[in-house]
Amino acid sequence: MGNCGNSGQEKTIEEKIFETCGISVDQTPDHITGSDENRILLGVILQRHIAAFDDLILACFLRYGIKEERRGAHKNSVEDSKLCAFELLAAVADGNEKGQPIDDKAFNSESFDHGSCAESAFIPEISIQEHNLLSSFKGLPQSENDSILEHTSEPASSDVLKNIDCDIKLGDGDVKNANGNPNCKVGHSICVGDSFNCKVESGPEMRLEDEKYQIGELSMAKTTSVEPIPDALVQKHLNNVKLGIRDDDDNSYGCNKSSTKIRPFKPQPRMGNRRIRKMLTSKYRKVAPKLKGCELYNTSEGMKSFYQYRKRIYTRERFQQAPFKKRKLSDHRFSVAYDQDTSCDSISNLPEKGTKIDKSSSAVNVERANGKVKVHQKPKDPHVKFSIKSFKVPELYIELAETASVGSLKRAVMEAVTTILGSGIRVGVVLQGKKVRDDNRTLQQAGISEGSNLDTLGFTLEPCLTHVSPSKTAKKPSSVLPCEEDQELLRSPATPMIDSVISNASVDPPLVTKCDADVDNNGFISSPQTPSNELMDGSVPESNALVAVPSMNVGPLAVVPVNPKSKRSELSQRRIRRPFSVAEVEALVGAVEKLGTGRWRDVKIGAFENADHRTYVDLKDKWKTLVHTASISPHQRRGEPVPQELLDRVLSAHSYWSQHQSKQDGKHSVKPLMKTADPHEETVGA
DNA sequence: GTTAGGG
DNA sequence: CCCTAAC
């Protein structure tokens, strides 16, 4: 759409992104975006509602986080950016499907400020099917305004985050225009190239905090025009960003479904307003403004008080690469998680009509699925097209004292969020398992060309160690606890996150070496060679997702009270998970058949003598799980399947040795169980 | 140091 | 895999 455009002087999105990512900005113009050939289009197009917000998030992070360009005249710029990101995250949460479990929702509702409508409208949980952000962008039915607003006042649970408004001003600050002309059809979606402002401010009822944020402008160059996407084409969201309060106990998000009811919402293709106001009220609506702590919560909804038992401030992120011990410091946690749905049709499958993608060279073909980086190659297209589909944001846990202000909560969340993608992240390019370090090479030279096997192309987000900025502004010094070391230690040495490579290569990248133990002819297990480099399963999530590696800096609020219990965080780190290979299972089974259960040390010595990474406790545990595995239905089993034959032997041996106490006086112990052992064999003399 | 079990 | 009681 025409008005999506912005001042032409701006850089293209790829330039922006490359720039913000620190990918040789200098070369960008020449090698990346300057020429028509082999042009890499890295970016995201705002095709869908979710994508749009996702992109915004990405953009925000890139802009404010990675580059740390906390601009903005006023001092709150930092918070602003964070808040912005936070809000955007929340915004994406809207993608939740209707009818989804309560606990799985986040901020499903949001309000949009439709143009002239000065007040922010509140859109109660609108199912994706019926309504989606995308369509929202098109415009809200003015006729709906009233009823919508109605919901705003609807008694509901209090909102911890309450009324955090996020105004996104799109375009050249054409807010007024949008406001003034509700019917201004701007299109359904934010166009790449639009610039927008985020203004976050606390709601009117929010008395605890009177914060007002004016986020700096974030702009993306337009690289392609986005055509309106018919609602019919809009499918379910592909990704969800969950931002909510989770209760460890029931795994719910702290509050029950708000009273807000889902109501069909038929967006009208108008309101081209480029301003979006998000109101994170639905779920966490606050009742009594001045209440604090648990009182903030309206219990009418049966929701538990969020702040209950809150005593410490706690922020924690967990990454799949970093299996640090999970610590539960509270029963209720506030979590921000970025999930991704499974099913989702590729945009490219959508009917041609109305689709947004500009087939031209500059188009960024986005396909969101499984949060992977997908490379699109079109035989005839000389351009290399690929896009980053999403970030995987680790879970965040934030714990605040119940006396903490809402504002501090917001800050905490912001801190946590930005900590993840905040300072010091650099992007790495991995091709065929190897990092492409030379930034000066052209894509073609690097082997990233249309003809190359782009399936092996991946990206990494790594902490830029040199960028580890101490702690950002600590608004709440009081909340800062002295234990950042803890965090550091947790993710240091053994944690192989420095190079967590995530590629969409189907082939196992070098780093992801499978290390099945070797089994010699004697059936003995020998120790794997390089346990150091391996990134065991958990380390390579979905193998394709882009994982944001956190910077070392945890931030002032990400403090964890020194917990005496968690002493191990310093010295010991949980060992990496090393699934038993079939060969190992085989050896184990064989040993147990012979030695029986209860003689794990012997089993270890006998069959795993050289497998240093397998302790007899491990073997014992494994046997335990094997027995369990063997006793459940196949479809319930997970992991590398163990041959049924082995499982049968496991059961057999287990049964046998259960009857024949294996640990009897060494003398003439029990007769070893052989494959053909008869479980009914008479007991050996005691 | 080993075992056995719960976590 | 971790943690520990119990031996």
Domain edges within chain A? 2-479, 582-659
pLDDT for A218 beyond 60: no
Q: Is the CB of A568 under 7 A from strand C?
A: yes
Strand C: which nucleotides have any atom within 7 A of a protein Cβ? 1-4
What residue type is assigned to position A257 of the chain?
K
Shortest CA distance to A122 belongs to which of A285, A301, A304, A302?
A: A285
Tell how far CA A280 is from the center of its chain: 20
Q: Is the CB of A567 under 7 A from strand C?
A: no
pLDDT for A363 beyond 70: no
CA atoms within 13 A on the CB side of A619: 31
Pull the structure tokens for residue A455: 């399936």
Q: Is the CB of A576 under 7 A from strand C?
A: yes
Report the pLDDT value the prediction gives residue A374, as an integer from 0 to 100.
Answer: 41
pLDDT for A470 beyond 60: no
Report the pLDDT value the prediction gives residue A511, as an integer from 0 to 100.
Answer: 30
Task: Please tell me the distance from the alpha carbon of residue A23 to that of residue A56, in angstroms, as a whole number.
Answer: 20
**Cβ–Cβ < 8 Å for A93, A280:** no
Segment A64-92 shows an average pLDDT of 33
Which nucleotide lies nearest residue A605, CA to C1'?
B2
Q: Is the CB of A161 under 7 A from strand C?
A: no
Q: How confident is the model at residue A444 (pLDDT cuts 50, 70, 90)?
A: confident
Q: How confident is the model at residue A331 (pLDDT cuts 50, 70, 90)?
A: very low
What residue type is assigned to position A114 of the chain?
H
CA of A592 to C1' of B5 (A): 19
Q: Is the CB of A36 under 7 A from strand C?
A: no
Q: What is the DSSP letter of A110?
A: B
Shortest CA distance to A578 belongs to which of A523, A534, A638, A542?
A: A534
Q: How many other CB atoms are there within 10 angstroms of residue A605's CB atom?
A: 13
Domain range A582-659, its CATH number among 2.40.160.10, 1.10.287.110, 3.50.30.30, 1.10.246.220 = 1.10.246.220
Pull the structure tokens for residue A47: 């095709």
Q: How confident is the model at residue A121 (pLDDT cuts 50, 70, 90)?
A: very low
For the segment A377-433, what is each residue's pLDDT rounded down to a tens digit? 444 446 766 666 655 555 566 667 777 777 777 777 766 666 655 555 567 777 777
Instruction: Name the strands in the sheet holding A502-503, side by side, starting at the edge strand that comes first in the sequence.
Output: A434-436, A425-431, A457-463, A502-503
Q: What is the 3-state secondary structure (H, E, C) of A223-245?
A: CCCCCCCCHHHCCCCCEEEEEEE
CA of A583 to C1' of C4 (A): 30
What is the Rg, in whole angstroms, of the alpha carbon atoms belonging to chain A?
28
CA of A635 to C1' of B3 (A): 32
Strand B: which nucleotides have any atom within 7 A of a protein Cβ? 1-7
pLDDT for A440 beyond 60: yes
Pull the structure tokens for residue A114: 């439709």
Report the pLDDT value the prediction gives residue A391, as an integer from 0 to 100.
Answer: 55
Report the pLDDT value the prediction gives residue A616, as an integer from 0 to 100.
Answer: 93
Q: How confident is the model at residue A671 (pLDDT cuts 50, 70, 90)?
A: low
pLDDT for A649 beyond 80: yes
Report the pLDDT value the prediction gives residue A619, as an integer from 0 to 100.
Answer: 93
Instruction: Name the strands in the sheet holding A332-340, side by side, starting at the edge strand that comes first in the sequence.
Output: A239-247, A332-340, A395-399, A314-318
CA of A279 to C1' of C7 (A): 62
Answer with the residue of higher pLDDT: A593 or A397.
Answer: A593
CA of A557 to C1' of B3 (A): 44
| Residue of least CA–C1' distance to B4 | A598
Find the angle CA(A669)-CA(A670)-CA(A671) to the nearest 5 degrees: 120
For the segment A14-56, what is each residue's pLDDT rounded down to a tens digit? 445 444 434 333 333 333 333 232 222 222 222 222 333 444 4
Q: How confident is the model at residue A658 (pLDDT cuts 50, 70, 90)?
A: confident
Pull the structure tokens for residue A396: 């965040």
Segment A255-278 shows an average pLDDT of 26
The string over A633-654, giving b where at least 16 C-beta atoms fall within 10 Å of a residue's C-beta and e elsewhere, is: eeeeeeeeebeeebbebbbbbb
pLDDT for A643 beyond 80: yes
Answer with the residue of higher pLDDT: A68 or A567.
Answer: A567
Q: Is the CB of A572 under 7 A from strand C?
A: yes
Positive or negative, the CA dihedral A99, A154, A53, A314 is negative
Answer with the residue of higher pLDDT: A645 or A375.
Answer: A645
**Cβ–Cβ < 8 Å for A82, A418:** yes
For the segment A298-319, what is each residue's pLDDT rounded down to a tens digit? 222 222 322 222 223 233 333 3
Q: How many other CB atoms are there within 10 angstroms of residue A13's CB atom?
A: 26
CA of A600 to C1' of B1 (A): 12
Report the pLDDT value the prediction gives residue A225, as an integer from 0 to 100.
Answer: 26
Which nucleotide lies nearest residue A602, CA to C1'?
B2
Segment A670-686 shows an average pLDDT of 40
Terminal-residue alpha carbon distance, chain A: 88
What residue type is assigned to position A160 of the chain?
V
Segment A226-246 shows an average pLDDT of 27
Of A residues 606-625, those with CB within 7 angstroms of nucleic strand C are: 613, 617-618, 621, 624-625
Answer with the residue of higher pLDDT: A644 or A257.
Answer: A644
Tell how far CA A83 is from the center of its chain: 18
**Cβ–Cβ < 8 Å for A226, A38:** no
Pull the structure tokens for residue A192: 């790449």
Q: How many other CB atoms are there within 10 angstroms of residue A170's CB atom?
A: 29
Which nucleotide lies nearest residue A624, CA to C1'?
B5
Find the angle CA(A146)-CA(A273)-CA(A391) to the nearest 5 degrees: 105
Report the pLDDT value the prediction gives residue A402, as an integer from 0 to 100.
Answer: 76
Report the pLDDT value the prediction gives residue A25, as an integer from 0 to 100.
Answer: 34
Report the pLDDT value the prediction gives residue A431, as an integer from 0 to 100.
Answer: 77
Report the pLDDT value the prediction gives residue A521, as an integer from 0 to 100.
Answer: 40
pLDDT above 70 coverage of chain A, percent: 19
Q: Who's near A672: CB < 8 A, 6+ residues apart?
A: A593, A594, A595, A596
Report the pLDDT value the prediction gives residue A408, as an integer from 0 to 100.
Answer: 73
Report the pLDDT value the prediction gives residue A623, as an integer from 0 to 100.
Answer: 93
CB within 7 A of strand B: which residues qualify?
Answer: A 597-602, 616-617, 620-621, 624, 663
For the segment A193-214, what is each residue's pLDDT rounded down to a tens digit? 233 222 222 222 222 222 222 2
Q: What is the 3-state secondary structure (H, E, C) of A579-633?
A: CCCHHHHHHHHHHHHHHCCCCHHHHHHHHCCECCCCCHHHHHHHHHHHHHHHCCC
- Rounded to 5 degrees, φ, ψ at A180 are -75, -20
For the segment A145-167, what is each residue's pLDDT rounded down to a tens digit? 322 222 222 222 222 222 222 22
Instruction: Name the strands in the sheet holding A374-376, side by side, starting at the edge strand that comes first in the sequence.
Output: A40-41, A384-387, A374-376
Which nucleotide lies nearest residue A614, CA to C1'?
C1
